[in-house]
Amino acid sequence: MSSDAAARHVAPSALGDDARRFFNLTLTLARTDFKLRYFGSVLGYLWSLVRPLLLFGVLYLVFSVVFHAGRGVKHYPVYLLTSIILWTFFMETTGGCVQCLLAREGLLRKIRFPRLVIPMSVGLTALFNLGMNFIVVLGFALATGVEPRLTWFEVPLLVLIIAALALGTGMLLSVLYVRFRDVQPIWDVASQVLFYISPIIYTAMTYPSSVLRIAMINPIATILTQMNHAFINPGTPSAASYIGSPVRLLAPLGIIAAVGALGLWFFGREAPRIAENL
Amino acid sequence: MSVMTRPVGPERARPPAGTPAVRISHVSKAFRLPHQRYSTLKERVLHPFQARTYDVLQAVNDVNLDVMPGEFFGIVGRNGSGKSTLLKCIAGIYNIDCGELTVRGRLSPFIELGVGFNMDLTARDNVMINAIMLGLTRKQARERFDEIIAFAQLEDFLDLRLKNYSSGMSVRLAFSVAIQVEAEILLIDEVLAVGDASFQQKCLDEFERLKRAGRTILFVTHDMGTIERFCDRAILLEKGRTVMIGGPTEVARRYNALNFGATVHRLTDGAGVTSRGATGPVSIVDGWFEDPDGARVAALASNEPCRACMEVRFNERLRDPIFGFTLRNEVGTTIFATTTDHGHGATGSFEPGQTTIVRLGFENWLTPSRYMLTPSIARHGTGADALDLRENIASVVIHGGPFTGGVVNLPHSFQFLSR
């Protein structure tokens, strides 16, 4: 903004007009969250590696050793861990977004800044954690015989897709929560349902063939299945072959695009009034 | 102390010519306050067609205002008068409903100090976070870090968590960060509410510096002293509407009249005053303060000549009665008392049915506070035979001038004699 040009009053908006400031703010808020998470603990940042390691140990024992889940699935522990960290990312983003605007009320009421920074920073914090978790999973995968392949380049793309879904949902939830406080319990229950209908503790192979194609419309199922194909075991069918044809993949991808666009539109619409509606 | 001898400067009410830095024309902002909060989906589901009723709170109502570049502009008003809402509209935190708001120049994005401070983080972290929140880049924030800490004088407490800071210390830190923001137009809401006296002085010095540097500052406060000391002009809001825009002294006076005016009338009407003279030989029927022009006032600026008056009706013939005036402050201390016996002598003779106004003019050396008038009349002689007395019949608020802690501000001068 040039200092001598007359500037029309700028109403509070979702994106703002300064990309650099948007980025700086998002990063700063995310960093702060990250700093605070393990603040005051002896291990400090090490916890972001140690915690998933310990958690995975428990999951592995419970599902593989005790329940013999995923018997006959090659690299099942790696699949379980990969699905869990992606699901954790999704939940951290969406669950964190629900109350994020209320939690930042102080900022919203006192500073002019692009409103979208707040849900974005929630997503970024979750992405930090996903990165940390992924380092652990990668180590575990290599140790248990998963071989590096060119298809690993699909992984960032898949993360990007699940991030779009998570942020779209998060944006919707965050502004809806400002109006209706019921969003919190509703999302608590809805996400539980989503957890069990998605192939997280089981694989897509478990779906009965009668519901397979419908179940695969669930974007989470598509992403996790493709993740298995690209990252862990090229022997498993890809998401496209599970759902029937590559064209049918447009259904889950369409849902993701729709949720993302709806979230962005709705957030942008509500942005000017967030501060006063809180 | 030099602050006590502040000369009363000429009125700076006229806005400088040029293009305004902030132009507010016909700006309104309303909030909807629902009668019954339909905040749950269930209620929405059960009563989908029920019209939502709400009160509309017109927080800012058709305000017009031009603030010129380099002006120090005060926004004052009572609680709920819309001054903070107006500031938030200018800052772009609230959207305006109608009207036009134009800002020319880089506007500071914050309206309060220390926003985003996190009590669990160290001062070091908080400075960086706060600086970035307020619009600096990471690089700028790093470069100015030392300067910020030096200004706040907190070099020794850098790695202390903010929760272990005293409130004064964190305000110091916040203020130091805030003044680093390179904005041409600063918006500040109630900045001087906290902090110890020396820090407040430092803030005020910093304001002087900003003012000299030609920054435009819009400033919300309750403190008329700050308004009169710093502001070139000010706006007084009441229920979202502009009461007046003008010089700091006039606005301060009007503000005090708004705040305390009602009290005076109630006192005057009050029946609970001590009176024994309603049917006696003489009765005090009214009492008031007035300005040098003879207009009744509820508030006066410090140093402005003042008059205390009583209206007296005689029912008997009296010779040389003694008229007395007593001024008490809010805590009831007698600040000043005088009678015609001391300063005037014989008052003359009064006939039954006669009504007289007795006027006491005095140099106004009072410090900012509220003062009560108690007029009295006694029979000629020792003054012991009181005929009428009206306790606290009127009050006046003295505003402006420095708050010194003393009850009067005597005219004074300093001398330094070397030996």
How distant, in Å, are the alpha carbons of A102, A107, A171, B367 from that of A278? 7, 12, 15, 43
Candidates A268, A274, A272, A263; CA nearest to A94 is A263
What pLDDT is stored for residue A228 in this prediction? Answer: 93
What pLDDT is stored for residue B264 in this prediction? Answer: 41
Bridge pairing between strands B54-67 and B299-301: unpaired
A71-99 average pLDDT score: 91
**At B59, phi and psi to the nearest 5?**
-70, -40
Bridge pairing between strands B185-189 and B98-104: unpaired
What pLDDT is stored for residue A261 in this prediction? Answer: 96
What pLDDT is stored for residue A262 in this prediction? Answer: 96
Contacts B106 to A, Cβ<8 Å: 1, 3
ipTM attached to this prediction: 0.80
Contacts A36 to B, Cβ<8 Å: 118, 120-121
Contacts B40 to A, Cβ<8 Å: 180-182
A182–B contact, CB cutoff 8 A? yes
| Residue of A6, A20, A28 with shortest CB distance to B104 | A6
The 3-state DSSP class for residue A174 equals helix
Contacts A273 to B, Cβ<8 Å: 95
Cα–Cα dist A130/B389, whole Å:
82
Q: Which of A154-163, A197-206, A229-238 has the highest mean pLDDT?
A: A154-163
pLDDT category of residue A184 using cuts at 50, 70 and 90: very high
A109–B contact, CB cutoff 8 A? yes
A45-68 average pLDDT score: 82
What pLDDT is stored for residue B273 in this prediction? Answer: 42
What pLDDT is stored for residue A264 in this prediction? Answer: 94
A110–B contact, CB cutoff 8 A? yes
> Helix A76-98 vs helix A117-143: angle between axes, to the nearest 10 degrees?
170
Cα–Cα dist A223/A206, whole Å:
16
How many CB pairs lie under 8 A apart between chains A and B?
A: 102
pLDDT at A36 over 90: no
A177-181 average pLDDT score: 89
Q: What is the CA B380 to chain-centroid distance, rounded? A: 44
Strand ordering across the sheet containing B216-220: B185-189, B216-220, B72-77, B233-238, B241-246
A237–B contact, CB cutoff 8 A? no
What pLDDT is stored for residue B50 in this prediction? Answer: 58
The 3-state DSSP class for residue B6 equals coil
DSSP B320: S
What pLDDT is stored for residue B39 in this prediction? Answer: 59
Cα–Cα dist B93/A90, whole Å:
30
* Chain B residue closest in CA terms to A177: B39
Beta carbons within 10 angstroms of residue B64's beta carbon: 14
pLDDT category of residue A241 using cuts at 50, 70 and 90: confident
| Residue of B40, B92, B109 with shortest CB distance to A181 | B40
Cα–Cα dist A35/B361, whole Å:
67
- Please judge whether A12 and B93 are an interchain contact, meaning their C-beta atoms are less than 8 angstroms apart: yes
* Min distance B112 CA to chain A CA atoms (Å): 6
A145-161 average pLDDT score: 93
- Please judge whether A180 and B118 are an interchain contact, meaning their C-beta atoms are less than 8 angstroms apart: no
A2–B contact, CB cutoff 8 A? no
- Best interface-test mutation with B: which of A1, A112, A177, A181 has the largest number of B CBs within 10 A? A112
Q: Cα-atom radius of gyration of chain A, to the nearest Å?
A: 20
A273–B contact, CB cutoff 8 A? yes
**Which one has a higher pLDDT value, A200 or B110?**
A200
- Please judge whether A111 and B110 are an interchain contact, meaning their C-beta atoms are less than 8 angstroms apart: yes
- Quick one: what percent of chain A has pLDDT higher than 70? 96
H/E stretch holding B249: helix B248-269
Q: What is the CA B212 to chain-centroid distance, rounded? A: 23
**How many residues would you count in chain B?**
419
DSSP B110: B
- The pLDDT mean for chain A works out to 88
Bridge pairing between strands B241-246 and B216-220: unpaired
Provide the H-helix boundaries in chain A.
19-37, 47-59, 76-98, 100-103, 105-110, 117-143, 154-179, 183-197, 209-215, 219-227, 239-243, 250-270, 274-277
* Chain A residue closest in CA terms to B120: A36
- Please judge whether B184 and A39 are an interchain contact, meaning their C-beta atoms are less than 8 angstroms apart: no
DSSP A204: G
A85-100 average pLDDT score: 94
The 10s digit of each residue's pLDDT in B274-300 is: 444 456 788 888 899 998 888 888 888
pLDDT tens sequence for chain B (419 residues): 333 333 333 344 445 567 888 999 899 999 887 666 555 677 667 666 555 667 788 889 999 999 998 888 999 888 888 888 999 999 888 988 888 888 888 888 778 777 888 888 888 888 988 888 888 888 889 999 998 888 888 888 888 888 888 877 888 888 888 888 878 888 888 765 555 666 667 777 777 788 888 888 898 887 777 787 788 899 999 888 999 999 888 888 788 777 755 444 444 444 334 444 456 788 888 899 998 888 888 888 888 888 999 999 998 888 888 898 989 887 777 888 888 887 777 888 898 888 999 999 988 888 888 888 989 888 887 766 778 888 888 888 888 777 677 778 888 888 888 88
How distant, in Å, are the alpha carbons of A244, A254, B57, B249 from that of A248? 7, 10, 53, 75
pLDDT at A7 over 60: no
Beta carbons within 10 angstroms of residue B328's beta carbon: 19
H/E stretch holding B169: helix B167-178
What pLDDT is stored for residue B279 in this prediction? Answer: 62
A11–B contact, CB cutoff 8 A? yes
**How many residues would you count in chain A?**
278
- Best interface-test mutation with B: which of A20, A35, A108, A111 has the largest number of B CBs within 10 A? A111
HSE, side-chain direction, 13 A CA sphere, residue B78: 11
**Position A107, amino acid:** L
